[in-house]
Amino acid sequence: METTTPQQELTINHEPQKEHQWLQQLVGEWTYESDAKMGPDHPSEKSTGTETVSTIGNFWVQCEGQGEMCGGPGTTIMTLGFDVQNQKFVGTWIGSMMAYLWQYDGELNDTGKVLTLSSRGPSMAGDGTIGQYKDVIELKSDDHRIMTSHALGDNGQWYQFMTTLYHRSK
C-alpha cells in the first residue's frame, strides 16, 4: 500500500510583519570601519568604506558595500528579509573577492536589538571543508550598529574574526 505525505500548505502573506519593519532601521547611507583577522597566523586587516541600504518593497533590504577589502577595492551585497512561513530572518551575502554565495537564516534576540544570522561556507582553513559561521548585527542606536563575524572552531567554540562599526551618514 502506497502512502503519500501531505504537502505543507504555503501561505503567502502580503502584509509586512514587525520583523520586516525591524529591517527598515538599516535603510540609509553608512560609513564603516572594519578590523578582520582571518586566521591565527594572519595579521589584522583594517578596511573602510561605505554602505547603502535600500528597500526592495516592504519585505526586503539590500545592503551594498564599497571599500578597500583584502588589499584592494571590493563590493559586497547582502540581502535580508523575513520568511513568515518559517518564522526566520533569511538572506544572502556575496562579495567581489570570492566565488561563493552565503545563505543566511537567523533570529532576533529578546531585546530586539541583536540579529544573529547563521551560515555555512568554505572553511578558513582552506582545506576544502565547510565551516559554520554567524554574523551578529547589533543596533547600538539609530545611527550606529556593529556587525561581528564568528567561526566555529575545531574545539567547538565560536571565535570572533571580524568587527565592523557602522555610522549613519544620511
Q: CA 161, CA 69: separation in Å to the nearest integer?
A: 15
Average pLDDT on 103-108 reads: 97
Residue 4 pLDDT exceeds 60:
no
The yes-or-no verdict on residue 2 having pLDDT over 90 is: no
- pLDDT one-digit tens code per residue, 41-93: 778 889 999 999 999 999 999 999 999 877 789 999 999 999 999 999 999 99
Task: Catalogue the long-range contacts made by 107-114 (C-beta closer than 8 Å, 24 or more residues apart).
Answer: 108/19, 108/22, 112/22, 113/138, 113/139, 114/138, 114/139
Please name which of 134, 14, 20, 138 lies closest in space to residue 81, comparing C-alpha atoms: 20
Q: Does pLDDT of 125 surpass 90? A: no
Domains, the chain, with CATH or none: 18-34+46-168 (2.40.128.20)
- pTM of the predicted protein model: 0.89
Residue 38 DSSP one-character state: -
Mean pLDDT of the region 98-107: 96
Which residue in 164, 137, 130, 133 sits closest to 151, CA to CA?
133
